[in-house]
């Protein structure tokens, strides 16, 4: 068990193409789900659900903006957008009884799916939101890659292990 335990996200900034700082937003990261098939047959007791090795279901992310202007509209463009979320995450060092900060980063390649301009009301933000299809999703902590899901290039790397390498090899792609 690590002596450093996560506490909370302190703040984040979102960039497009690693250089253009986007506006104030809150991001719901994509769920990583593994598609399953049901198998049954002789020697089994009924059906059994089996996750397909290294395959990943459709992923989507949601971004909530303050108003339907600027970056919310920019990301409506029906093209791919590379988004980098740079995050400062506080941790508690149990052994030293002190706190520290990890530099987290999430990288996604997305295309817009829906945009909801939100609500117009006095003394309130519009709660504009966008839903985006995710083709690529990677996460890093202090520069170390935690995972990389690349649907177009058939990669499912988790803690340095590429679970699709044998599949690509079997298909003659390596």
Return the closest-CA partner of residue 81 out of 119, 103, 110: 110
Return the closest-CA partner of residue 64 out of 22, 106, 92: 22
pLDDT tens digit string along 93-144? 887 778 889 999 999 999 999 998 888 888 877 788 899 999 999 999 999 9
High-pLDDT (> 90) share of the chain, %: 58
**pTM, to two decimals:** 0.88
Say how many C-beta atoms besides its own lie within 10 A of residue 17's C-beta.
9
């Amino acid at each position: 068990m690590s002596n450093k335990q996560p506490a909370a996200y302190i703040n984040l900034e979102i960039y497009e193409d690693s250089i253009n700082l986007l506006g104030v937003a809150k991001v719901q990261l994509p769920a990583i789900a593994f598609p399953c098939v049901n198998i049954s047959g002789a020697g089994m007791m009924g059906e059994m659900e089996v996750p397909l090795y290294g395959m990943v279901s459709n992923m989507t992310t949601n971004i909530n903006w303050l108003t339907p202007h600027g970056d919310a509209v920019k990301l409506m463009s029906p093209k791919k957008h590379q988004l980098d979320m740079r995050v400062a995450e506080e941790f508690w060092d149990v052994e030293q009884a002190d706190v520290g900060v990890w530099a987290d980063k999430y990288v996604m390649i997305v295309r817009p799916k829906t945009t909801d301009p939100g609500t117009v009301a006095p003394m309130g933000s519009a709660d504009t939101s966008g839903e985006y299809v995710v083709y690529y999703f990677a996460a890093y902590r202090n520069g170390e890659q935690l995972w990389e899901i690349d649907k177009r290039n058939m990669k499912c790397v988790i803690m340095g292990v590429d679970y699709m390498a044998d599949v690509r090899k079997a298909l003659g792609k390596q």
